[in-house]
Structure 1
Amino acid sequence: MTVTILADSACDLSEHYYNEYNIEMIPLTVHLESKDYQDSIDISSKTIYDAMRKGEAPKTSQASANQFKDIFTSYTEAGKPLLYIAFSSELSGTCQAAKMVEQEIKETDPEAPLHIIDSKCASLGLGLVVLEAAKMAQKGFSFQDIIEQTEKNTAKMEHIFTVDNLEYLYRGGRVSKTAAFVGGLLNIKPLLHVDEGKLIPLEKIRGTKKVLKRMVDVMDKRGSNLQKQIIGISHGDDLPRARELSKMIQDRFGVKEENIIIEMVGSVIGAHSGPGTLALFFHNT
Structure 2
Amino acid sequence: MNVKILADSACDLSKSYYNEFDIEMVPLTVQLDEKEYQDGKTITPKKIYDAMRDGKSPKTSQISPQAFKAILTSYAEANQPLIYFALSSELSGTYQTAKIVEQEVKEEYPDAKLHIVDSKCASLGIGLVVLQAAKLAQNGASITEILESAQFHAKHMEHIFTVDDLEYLYRGGRVSKTAAFVGTLLKIKPILHVDNGKLIPLEKLRGSKKVLKRMVEIAKERGKDLSDQTIGIVHGDDLAAAEKLAELVKEEFHPKAIHIEMVGSVIGAHSGPGTLALFFLNDTK
Instruction: Compute the TM-score of the two structures, normalised by the length of structure 2.
Output: 0.98
Matches within 5 A, 1:1-285: 1-256=1-256, 259-285=257-283
Q: Percent identity among equivalent residues?
A: 67
Distance 1:189 1:153 in 2: 28
Paired amino acid for 1:90:
E
CA shift for structure 1 position 109: 2.8
Stretches of 4+ aligned residues off by more than 6 angstroms: none
* Superimposed CA distance per residue, residues 185-228 of structure 1 (whole angstroms, 9 cap, x where no aligned partner): 11101100000000000011111111111110110011011111
Q: Does the 8 Å contact 2:230/2:255 carry over to 1?
A: no
Q: 2:73 aligns to what SS in structure 1?
A: helix
Corresponding residue pairs, total: 283
* Superimposed CA distance per residue, residues 151-178 of structure 1 (whole angstroms, 9 cap, x where no aligned partner): 1111010000000000000000101111
Distance 1:255 1:8 in 2: 27
CA shift for structure 1 position 229: 1.0
Distance 1:134 1:254 in 2: 25
Paired amino acid for 1:264:
M
Q: Does the 8 Å contact 2:65/2:101 carry over to 1?
A: yes
CA shift for structure 1 position 69: 0.5
Distance 1:225 1:83 in 2: 28
Distance 1:108 1:147 in 2: 24
> Runs of 5+ in structure 2 lacking a partner?
none
Instruction: Compute the TM-score of the two structures, normalised by the length of structure 1.
Output: 0.98
* Superimposed CA distance per residue, residues 244-269 of structure 1 (whole angstroms, 9 cap, x where no aligned partner): 0000011111225xx00000000000
Distance 2:182 2:111 in 1: 55
CA shift for structure 1 position 243: 0.4
Distance 2:79 2:201 in 1: 44
* Superimposed CA distance per residue, residues 27-72 of structure 1 (whole angstroms, 9 cap, x where no aligned partner): 0000001000000100000000000000010000000111000000
Distance 1:43 1:167 in 2: 23
Paired amino acid for 2:80:
K
Distance 1:143 1:159 in 2: 26
Q: 1:173 aligns to what SS in structure 2?
A: coil
3-12 vs 107-116, greater mean Cα deviation: 107-116
Paired amino acid for 2:44:
S
> Runs of 5+ in structure 1 lacking a partner?
none
Distance 2:254 2:128 in 1: 20
